[in-house]
Amino acid sequence: MTDIANQYALAVYNYACELNKLTETVETIKAFHESLDMQSMKFFSHPKITKSEKKSVIDKTVEFSLVKHFLYVIIDNDRMNDLSDIYQALIERINEKNQILNVNVFTKEILSLQEKETLIKRLENKTKRQINIISIIDPTIISGFRLEYDGFVYDETINNKLSELTNTLLRN
């Protein structure tokens, strides 16, 4: 995440909290962000389209005043291309505040509900935080799993074990 994205995320987070409108703010930014396609992004980043024209589109598509004015600021500062990073930084700030940890779980196949629940319980006990599992299917994994969170990687894949064994054999 860029420092700029974090600054914008912090600003909108603090203002939304001050007005007790955080949920509505996040939902509105999410809906707007998800509605943007390549053509929309080209429109908002095109230098020959005036800022007032861009704001006019925002005015017609976004009803919630706080988000509308937030997007005006982003347009005024030519930061629409940073919206995805800003939204991600906002979600990370909320998760941090609520003690929620996103954990990427890489497996060959989808985890069963029981495997997911067991993993969540173990991670919650270890981290003392609420866990949000993000399942990522990786067909290159032979067997096992890899966890990634907070810059930490825990690799229990057969691929990793074979790689470690190969390195050990090559050294000896």
Mean residue pLDDT across the chain: 94
Report whether 143 contacts 157 (CB < 8 A).
yes
Quick one: pLDDT at residue 150?
86
Give pLDDT, residue 34: 94
Taking only the tens place, the pLDDT of each residue in 121-170 is: 999 999 999 999 999 999 999 999 999 998 899 999 999 888 999 999 88
Q: Is the pLDDT confidence value at 1 over 80?
A: no
Widest CA span in the chain = 69
> pLDDT tens digit string along 37-68?
999 999 999 999 999 999 999 999 999 999 99
In this predicted structure, what is the pLDDT of residue 2? 80
The residues spanned by each domain of the chain are 3-95, 99-171
3-state secondary structure the chain: CCHHHHHHHHHHHHHHHHCCCHHHHHHHHHHHHHHCCHHHHHHHHCCCCCHHHHHHHHHHHCCCHHHHHHHHHHHHCCCHHHHHHHHHHHHHHHHHHCCEEEEEEEECCCCCHHHHHHHHHHHHHHHCCEEEEEEEECCCCCCCEEEEECCEEEECCHHHHHHHHHHHHHHC
Q: Which CATH number fits domain 3-95: 3.40.50, 1.20.120, 1.10.520, 3.30.70?
A: 1.10.520
Q: Does 99-171 match 3-95 at the fold level?
A: no
CATH class for the domain made up of 99-171: alpha beta
pLDDT at 137: 96
Angle between helices 51-61 and 65-76 (to 10 degrees): 160
Flag whether the pTM goes above 0.95. Answer: no
Q: Is residue 172 pLDDT above 90, yes or no?
A: no
* pLDDT tens per residue, range 71-121: 999 999 999 999 999 999 999 999 999 999 999 999 999 999 999 999 999
